[in-house]
Amino acid sequence: MLKPVGINEWQEYYRMTETASYFQSPGWSALWNRYTDGRYRANPLLAKLPSGKTVLIPLTRQSLRGGLGSLWHAAPAGTYGGWLGKPGDALTGEEVLILIRALFAHCSSLTYRLFPMTPLGHGNGSSPTSGIRDFLANTSYSLPEITTIDDHTRVIDCANGYDAIHRGWAAGKGSMKAKLNKAERAGVHIRRVSSEQDLAAYYNIYQSALLRWNPPPSHIYSRTFFELILDSDDQFKSSGTKRKQRESSAGVTSREIWLAEHEGKIVAGAVILTGNQHMTYWHGASDPAFQALRPVNLLIATLIEHCCKYGLRWFDFNPSMGIVGVDRFKQSFGAQAAFSPILENRTFGARVSVLAGRILRRLQKKDSG
């Protein structure tokens, strides 16, 4: 049922899938391969179901340190996985169960976050509050060997355009529109990263933000990672001047860093990853000294506007790691919840490796403080 395939097949299935996150692309796996000096390697699988349907499963295999084996990821950093397939080839609930069981039998230690817009047999994924959530709620299934962790993201449906979204922000004195007006009156300016100096400013804000996280985030990224995000799309020439565009299937650069600037100072930023009909606010950081000017609000509103401009269907805020305040902030934009559970099965070696990583992050935070 499952067989290994190459990057070319992965890219082909990614391109033909109507709605897919950038995390499901070969590019995300390749970036992690470079970042980890080969400890993460692409291992996509092709699955042929009894019905004759064929889907590709994006997978990345991580070699654990200390000879503790391997950990498979639907996508690195706990991001969206799922399956890729031909338009109209949605899987039924029974086929999903067959696929999941086969996948976890193949991968001894696997972390698999389901993409909320993955189409299932009863619909085309047009509503993020149906699909995966309804399947898990209404289907009788038994996967005792797999841990299921409930989680959700927040998304905005851009089908009706930016003007319709903007009108929804207008009500009340403390409305989103009032916050955006405040940022604009203060002279906050939104733009893309265009130089190495811009990247350094964003990374410095991120480093400062880490000191406020308790507990620390699941992974602390080095500056190299953000350089690779830009370099892998040829966004910087060797001189650090204007980027060279490389377009995704949606006609927009697939990896970008955007900035909020006030009086010449970078005060906030965000890493944006764009797939097929789907734009994700994946990583962000801001300077708390400028919070009252609402630069993050204006930054996100501008990104949503561009999402609509490019004709994409979904703007995705990404899951909030269970932080209630962050989730409420995303909800304030009118973003609706979209179910994105994590399926997980880990060997003893993988659990030891993850625990060691958490301890290391706490020590890093303590040293930096």
- CATH number of the domain at 77, please: 3.40.630
The predicted model gives 61-71 an average pLDDT of 80
Q: Is residue 228 assigned to a domain?
A: yes
pLDDT above 60 (res 11):
yes
175 and 143 together in one domain: no
211 and 348 together in one domain: no
d(CA 273, CA 282): 7
Find the domain containing 105 and state its range: 2-151+340-368
Q: How confident is the model over 39-58, as pLDDT tens digits?
A: 999 999 999 999 999 999 99
Q: Is residue 253 assigned to a domain?
A: yes
Please name every residue paired with 266 in a beta bridge, in sequence order, or none if there are none: 261
Q: Which residue has the tokens 């994409």?
A: 312
137 and 236 together in one domain: no
What pLDDT is recorded for position 232? Answer: 55
124 and 255 together in one domain: no
To which H or E segment does residue 262 belong? strand 255-262
Specify whether the CB–CB gap between 252 and 243 falls below 8 A.
no
216 and 285 together in one domain: yes
The pTM of the full predicted model, rounded to 2 decimals, is 0.86
196 and 264 together in one domain: yes
Residue 212 DSSP symbol: T
146 and 167 together in one domain: no
Q: Is residue 157 assigned to a domain?
A: no
115 and 167 together in one domain: no
pLDDT above 70 (res 361):
no
269 and 348 together in one domain: no
Residue 308 maps to which CATH number? Answer: 3.40.630.30
Q: Is residue 156 assigned to a domain?
A: no
Q: Among positive and negative, which fits the CA dihedral 86, 87, 92, 97?
A: positive
Specify whether the CB–CB gap between 267 and 293 falls below 8 A.
yes
The predicted model gives 203-219 an average pLDDT of 85
d(CA 355, CA 366): 17
Q: Where are the alpha helices (DSSP H) in 232-320?
A: 295-309
What pLDDT is recorded for position 193? Answer: 96
Q: How confident is the model over 285-298, as pLDDT tens digits?
A: 999 999 999 999 99
Specify whether the CB–CB gap between 368 and 213 falls below 8 A.
no
Specify whether the CB–CB gap between 60 and 40 falls below 8 A.
yes
Q: Which residue has the tokens 């958490």?
A: 358
What pLDDT is recorded for position 248? Answer: 43
Across the chain, the runs of DSSP E, i.e. the strands, are 2-4, 40-42, 45-48, 54-57, 60-63, 70-73, 80-81, 110-114, 147-149, 152-157, 189-192, 255-262, 265-274, 278-286, 314-316, 336-339, 342-345
98 and 54 together in one domain: yes
Q: How confident is the model over 311-341, as pLDDT tens digits?
A: 999 999 999 988 899 999 999 999 999 989 8
167 and 290 together in one domain: yes
Counted domains in the chain: 2
Phi and psi dihedrals of 180, rounded to 5? -65, -40
pLDDT above 50 (res 30):
yes
Residue 334 DSSP symbol: T
347 and 262 together in one domain: no
d(CA 290, CA 292): 6
Phi and psi dihedrals of 261, rounded to 5? -125, 140
Local confidence band at 249 (pLDDT 50, 70, 90 cut-offs):
very low
3-state secondary structure of 138: helix
